[in-house]
Amino acid sequence: MKMVTKPGKLGRTVYLFLVDGMLIDTGPALLLEELVSFYKQNLFELVTMTHSHEDHTGTAWWIKENRNVPIYIHPNGKRICENPASYPEYRKITWGVRKPFKVLPLKTSIYSSNVRWEVLFTPGHANDHVSLYDKHSGRLFAGDLFLTQEPKIIMKDESIPLMMDSIRTLLKLDFESLFCSHNGFVPNGRNLLTQKLSYLEELYDKIEHLYRKGYSIEEIKKLTFPKKYRLIEFSKGEYDTLHAVTSIVQDIKKRS
């Protein structure tokens, strides 16, 4: 297996994985030159995207134009990939502008040269997010689901309750370590993912408690996340601790 590590210009380090002839994710457009030199030195038979975010799909158009290999994504991500980038300016500066490219919809499993991978729909970080699992070796590619241990500030279309469900889905699998798109190989992945779930469950309970006491969303935000984050302003509110609160409160309302 090969792993490509590229430091993002302003954002996080990016990892791409080439395993058994399958390339997992294609990095951001800003790293095109470096990644093309990797694509020219390494053969692969297919590309699978963990989700449609621009730091995972940014050089797929080059592969489509220069390599005769299929590119797969969850059906929810098809329209996003096949249309021009519609994300805000600060993300275009951070990762570059992703060009559109044709994709094929993922099913519940996918074959590389010798391995049948289970494709697990694991939304929460993105609603087209999948994880890839080989039950024979226990290898797990978790995309951006692990990412940070204790998320506080999340994007507008992320959902804490969906993230929790997706982590529970993964924890049912037999694995010890995992591969994360921004942390690389995480040897104690199961442990850390279990801790992340506990953190999110505690956060959920805390917010539910405040909500049932009658506090407003804004008040819950201030009580739960008193710290100010520069990213909120930089992203013009696309990233905000408020979204963590909102996604949990929406879930509470749905349940009751």
The least CB distance from residue 78 to Zn ion, in Å, is 17
The interface with Zn ion within residues 186-215 (CB under 5 A) comprises: none
Shortest gap between Cβ of 50 and Zn ion (angstroms)? 8
Distance CA 111, CA 95 (A): 30
Q: DSSP letters of 218-254?
A: HHHHHHH--S--HHHHHTTTSEEHHHHHHHHHHHHHH
Tally of CB atoms within 10 A around 36: 14
Q: Could you tell me the smallest distance in angstroms from the CB atom of residue 136 to Zn ion?
A: 28
Distance, CA of 97 to CA of 101 (rounded, Å)? 13
Q: Which is nearer to Zn ion, 150 or 157 (CB)?
A: 157
Complex with Zn ion: residue 48 or 220, whichever CB lies closer: 48
Interacting residues with Zn ion between 21 and 80 (CB under 5 A)? 53
Burial class from Cβ neighbours inside 10 Å (0-12, 13-18, 19+) for residue 5 reads exposed
28, 55 contact by CB (below 8 A): yes
Task: State the minimum distance, in angstroms, from the CB of residue 217 to Zn ion.
Answer: 25
> CB of residue 125 vs Zn ion: minimum separation in angstroms?
6
Residue 66 tokens read as: 């220069």
Binding pattern to Zn ion, positions 135-164, x when CB under 5 A?
---------x--------------------
- Alpha-helical segments (H) within 120-216: 160-171, 189-212
**Pure H helices in 22-102:** 32-41, 54-57, 60-66, 78-81, 89-95
27 vs 189, beta carbon nearer Zn ion: 27
Q: Residue with CB nearest Zn ion? A: 53
Instruction: Select 85 or 207, whichever has its Cβ closest to Zn ion.
Output: 85
Nearer to Zn ion, 53 or 139 (CB): 53
Number of shown-chain residues binding Zn ion (CB under 5 A): 2
Pick between residue 53 and residue 221 the one whose CB is nearest to Zn ion.
53
Shortest distance, CB of residue 126 to Zn ion, whole angstroms? 6
94-133 residues near Zn ion, rule: CB under 5 A: none
User: How many contiguous H segments (helices) and E segments (strands) does the chain have?
Assistant: 10, 14
CA atoms within 13 A on the CB side of 59: 23
CA distance 116 to 101: 25
- 251 in contact with Zn ion (CB under 5 A): no
Report the interface residues with Zn ion, using CB under 5 A.
Answer: 53, 144
